[in-house]
Structure 1
Amino acid sequence: MSVDPNWTTLVDAATLAAALQHPQLRLLDARAAPPTAPDPHAARKAYAQGHLPGAHYADLDQDLAELSRPAQGRHPLPHSAAFAKRLGEWGIDPHTQVVIYDAADGSMAAARAWWMLRLLGHRRVAVLDGGLAAWRAAGFAESTESPAVRDGAAYPGSFDTAAVVDAEQIVQRLQQAPGWLLDARAGERFRGEVEPIDPVAGHVPGAVNRPSGLSLRDGRFKPAAELRAELSALLGAYRPEQAVVMCGSGVTACHLLLALEVAGLSGARVYAGSWSGWLQDASRPVATGA
């Protein structure tokens, strides 16, 4: 029996495999090399060596960001028209079920692509729970064939800019009690002990650290009830729609946003510039320590 896909947060490997031939299913491989990787093209090369059948490659730097605007951070959002055009080339329209994966747990770029589709109003989009590792562990097939890029119509619509936070909005809330701003970076970067990527170490004053890995167990997202208890405790008196998530450049923050969504805590927004964008103005305050 075929599965009619309607997934909006996560999908497991077995469920995806059962629906792989569905005509309205499109897969995106969002593997990305870490910023410090010696070969920035390693992820694309890995895609060429094997990927889920039918998956298009979504390049973090070329498809999911617009690097010509460094004043907005390391991974500024692309113009929505450019992203909408790319979606059309991948055969994605408002009726498509999209599933995105990366080489890890979604924190590399899969969750970023998930968030960007949601910014366009697309709800039938999910991340493969456990990523490529879960697919391979289950023994499912891979392919080395790249699907053809289509000359299709651009995805209709534009980004919901109200769901994206800028630095000035962060500055205006700096005096509020902690709990509204969640930082998904590793603890040592948040505390300012190390900073392998950006020029200054530390965090936005008042931010609360929630490393993305804490939402996972054995490479997969924790159960919804467990995530809800943990994340609700961080938010404290704040409602989810009052929360903002950030990271180093607006990528891993989307993993935390996905965890909130899995937990049923919908409505948080993303500070797209994140730490790398915050540092573009030297007058903005920096905190260190826990």
Structure 2
Amino acid sequence: MNPHDSWTTLVSPDQLAARLGAPGLVVLDARFALAAAAAAGPGSGEDDWREAHIPGAYYAHLERDLSAAHAPGAGRHPWPDEAAFARTLAGWDIVKDSQVVVYDAADGAFAARAWCLLRLAGHAAVAVLDGGLAAWRAQGLPLDAASPAVATTQSQPFAFDRSRLFDAARVQEHLAAGGLVLDARAGERFRGDVEPIDRVAGHVPGARSRPYADNLEVGRFKSSTRLATEFGALLDGRPPSDVVAMCGSGVTACHHLLAMAHAGLDGAGLYTGSWSGWIEDPARPVATGPG
């Protein structure tokens, strides 16, 4: 694929459909259901993939492929290490020049996690299917139940851009220096009104609420112009690198990094442990109410 034709943030169903089967294209299905995982085991997204998926799509499991095993302070979905993720990429036949497209059921929350991992691994040509499988189905585009071909790619070493990956100590330093931390959870979870997943409700003192759903309109990402205006107001003249995104476990926060990149504001950081990692240390402060 000509690098000038690569997709780096979002791609429409029509664009992807026109290039299905092209050399170098790799499609990943990242469907997952956090509620189902908590109740009955994390299988529903993979089960749905087995029933029907975009032709040729590999399945990217949030907890098996896009996260590491638990480590102290790392939260519910720890960031994987380079060696493990390199093996995962090889299993999906992803090489340096691959054009990767990731989708989930609809809003891009899980697909954005895979996008973020690849981007911070130095892979530029990766995009999220805008509207996900719901938009694909709505246009009557093809689905398949066949498993993709077994990958033959050798694992290729790389290094994550660690400057954009934050732990709790760096988040505290960032806030103390006047940096901006945006929490992508729903407003009621940020305020501490409810907490359906984690054992403590509330937010990191000094963080500000921007639910990831605010990046969407009618199931699709808002225009790049509108996102630039909205994030620009939050930045208030500061560079994108002054933002650290967080959420419950470092998954939906990636939606902010994708939305900002689509708006031409690439460079924000990610608090990988997020709220679930923050509260692992009971000595850390907790705030409730509006940020």
- Give the TM-score normalised by structure 1: 0.95
8 Å contact from structure 2 (residues 106, 135) kept in 1: no
Whole-angstrom CA distance in 1 between matches of 2:239 and 2:247: 20
Q: Equivalent residues in 2 for 1:239-278 (5 A)?
A: 239-278=239-278
- Counterpart secondary structure, 1:193: coil
- Counterpart secondary structure, 1:158: coil
Partner of 1:229: 229
Q: Equivalent residues in 2 for 1:111-260 (5 A)?
A: 111-177=112-178, 180-260=180-260
- Counterpart secondary structure, 1:133: helix
Whole-angstrom CA distance in 1 between matches of 2:19 and 2:190: 40
- Counterpart secondary structure, 1:141: coil
Letter of the structure 2 residue corresponding to residue 243 of structure 1: V
Letter of the structure 2 residue corresponding to residue 284 of structure 1: R
8 Å contact from structure 1 (residues 29, 55) kept in 2: yes
- Counterpart secondary structure, 2:198: coil
Whole-angstrom CA distance in 1 between matches of 2:74 and 2:35: 17
Report the number of matched residues. 287
Whole-angstrom CA distance in 2 between matches of 1:148 and 1:63: 18
Could you list the structure 1 runs, at least 4 aligned residues long, displaced by more than 6 angstroms after superposition.
none
Q: CA deviation at 1:239?
A: 1.4
Whole-angstrom CA distance in 2 between matches of 1:139 and 1:278: 43
8 Å contact from structure 2 (residues 181, 208) kept in 1: yes
8 Å contact from structure 1 (residues 192, 288) kept in 2: yes
8 Å contact from structure 1 (residues 183, 210) kept in 2: yes
Letter of the structure 2 residue corresponding to residue 269 of structure 1: G
User: Residues 54 and 70 from structure 1, CA distance in 2 versus in 1: closer, same or farther, beyond 3 angstroms?
Assistant: farther
Letter of the structure 2 residue corresponding to residue 27 of structure 1: V
User: Residues 77 and 124 from structure 1, CA distance in 2 versus in 1: closer, same or farther, beyond 3 angstroms?
Assistant: same
8 Å contact from structure 1 (residues 167, 271) kept in 2: yes
What is the RMSD of the two structures over their aligned residues, measured on CA atoms?
1.7
Query: Deviation digits for residues 97-118 of structure 1, max 9, x if unmatched?
Result: 00000002111x1000000001
Whole-angstrom CA distance in 1 between matches of 2:119 and 2:273: 18
Identity rate, percent: 54
Whole-angstrom CA distance in 1 between matches of 2:237 and 2:176: 15
Q: CA deviation at 1:281?
A: 0.9
Q: CA deviation at 1:155?
A: 2.9
Letter of the structure 2 residue corresponding to residue 116 of structure 1: L
- Counterpart secondary structure, 2:140: coil
Q: CA deviation at 1:206?
A: 1.0
8 Å contact from structure 2 (residues 82, 157) kept in 1: no
Query: Deviation digits for residues 106-156 of structure 1, max 9, x if unmatched?
Result: 11x100000000111000000000000010001000000111332321133
Whole-angstrom CA distance in 2 between matches of 1:36 and 1:276: 18
Q: Equivalent residues in 2 for 1:54-65 (5 A)?
A: 54-65=56-67
8 Å contact from structure 1 (residues 5, 97) kept in 2: no
Q: Which moved more, 1:28-37 or 1:183-192?
A: 28-37
Whole-angstrom CA distance in 2 between matches of 1:148 and 1:101: 19
Query: Deviation digits for residues 205-254 of structure 1, max 9, x if unmatched?
Result: 11111101111111100011111111111122421111100000000000
Letter of the structure 1 residue corresponding to residue 163 of structure 2: A
- Counterpart secondary structure, 2:284: coil
Whole-angstrom CA distance in 2 between matches of 1:275 and 1:47: 29
More helix by share: 2
- Give the TM-score normalised by structure 2: 0.95
Structure 1 gap ranges (5+): none
8 Å contact from structure 2 (residues 57, 148) kept in 1: yes
- Counterpart secondary structure, 1:98: strand
Structure 2 gap ranges (5+): none
- Counterpart secondary structure, 2:102: strand
Query: Deviation digits for residues 57-90 of structure 1, max 9, x if unmatched?
Result: 0000000001232531000011111111111121
